[in-house]
Amino acid sequence: MVCVLRFPVLHDGWFLALALVLSMFLGTRGVAIEWPAVKCGQIKPRWLYCIQPFIYNFFGSLAGWVAVYGLSYRILTAPCPAAPPPGYFLDWPNLHLLGWSDFGLAAIAFLGVTGKLPETVQAFIISIAGLVKLITDKLPKS
């Protein structure tokens, strides 16, 4: 038996609508950030140039909202007899059920909702590429 206490205020449909609207807002924000380069003539405007930043930021934000949904579902949904172990202070929400993987989910949720997930992923990939280049430069040439 499972006690479902999902979103005491918001229904799932409202949460989905909120996530889509805010993700679309961050997607258009990505286009607006790149638009001065087009306006100054540095880049020729093409439809693909406008679509790429929108998709990049839209899906980054949507991933954050999916992580928020998953994390809140994990916190607010638990088996009915799940009482906290001895020594724990809180009973509901079920914070004692969280593990280390939920910390990563919370980080994705925070970065995605604030609109920083795409830039963080890009910076991580660039830093890994720089690390690989540094290591390959240190290897002896043959």
- Checking if the pLDDT of 77 tops 60, the result is yes
Specify the pLDDT at position 69: 87
Per DSSP, the three-state class of 46 is coil
Separation between Cα atoms, residue 67 and residue 23, nearest integer Å: 13
Phi then psi dihedrals of residue 119, to 5 deg? -65, -35
- pLDDT digit string, tens, across residues 35-63: 766 666 666 666 677 788 889 899 999 99
Specify the pLDDT at position 9: 46
Q: What is the residue-wise DSSP string for 76-131?
A: HEEETT-PPPTT----SS-GGG--HHHHHHHHHHHHHHTT-HHHHHHHHHHHHHHH
pTM of the model: 0.73
- pLDDT digit string, tens, across residues 10-33: 567 888 899 999 999 999 888 877
Separation between Cα atoms, residue 5 and residue 10, nearest integer Å: 11
Count the Cβ atoms, other than its own, within 10 Å of residue 49.
15
